[in-house]
Amino acid sequence: MFMLYGLTGGICTGKSLVAEMFKMHGATLIRTDDYLKGAYVDLKEEILCLFGDSILDTLGKIDRTELKKTMLEKMDLIETFWEIADSYLEPRIIPILEKEHNEITIFEAAQLYKREWNRYCKKVIEIQMPTKRQAEFLMDRAKRRDDFILTDEQALYVIEKQLQGNNGNPDHVINNEGSVSQLESEVAGLYVRIKNGDF
């Protein structure tokens, strides 16, 4: 039985959290981020051409926090950067998607529709969140994880840019606007449906 399910949604809507919840129930995870780990080395010259040498650390490696800060100063280049990253990712991820998935497998990808990877999935689950809350989460993550301040305007710009060309018709929508326990309950119910062949 084919059991690959797409999990998508905008930045900071809770995709990774939901993916982990599915994993706790026994699902296998495929995450696009895991296949991008070598990108900053392999794509170094292309990234430097876009954003300059100021994003390098003292060892000459790309400093991801400095890269993010510079991207926000050159926001018109964000889409170009994403396109370069996706072009790197695609030949690495497609062979994984083309395999038989006989156990429940969750494929987490923000750009699922834009890259048309949904065609490899039995069903698509989309996480949605009110834009204001999404922006607040994004600003909090920037401060907590990367130690820099993201303005409302910048957060909304990134959210809007990521949505462009990435709209589709999901088979199930999870509205992440309640508590974590509510989210856990919905994921648990959906997992049972998948396991029973009802979704």
What would the pLDDT profile of 1-45 be if each residue is shown by its tens digit? Answer: 679 999 999 999 999 999 999 999 999 999 998 998 888 889 999
Distance between alpha carbon 17 and the CA centroid of its chain, in Å?
11
pLDDT of 122-139, one tens digit each? 999 999 999 999 999 999
> pLDDT value at position 1?
60
- CB burial of 27-51 (b: ≥16 within 10 Å; e: otherwise) equals beebbbeebbeebbeebeebbeebb
Are 121 and 99 in contact by the 8 Å Cβ rule? The answer is no
Give me the mean pLDDT over the 166-173 stretch: 93
Q: Which domains does the chain have, with CATH numbers?
A: 4-195 (3.40.50.300)
What is the per-residue pLDDT across 67-89, written as a single tens digit (0 to 9) for each? 988 988 888 898 899 999 999 99
Which residues lie across from 30 on neighbouring strands? 107
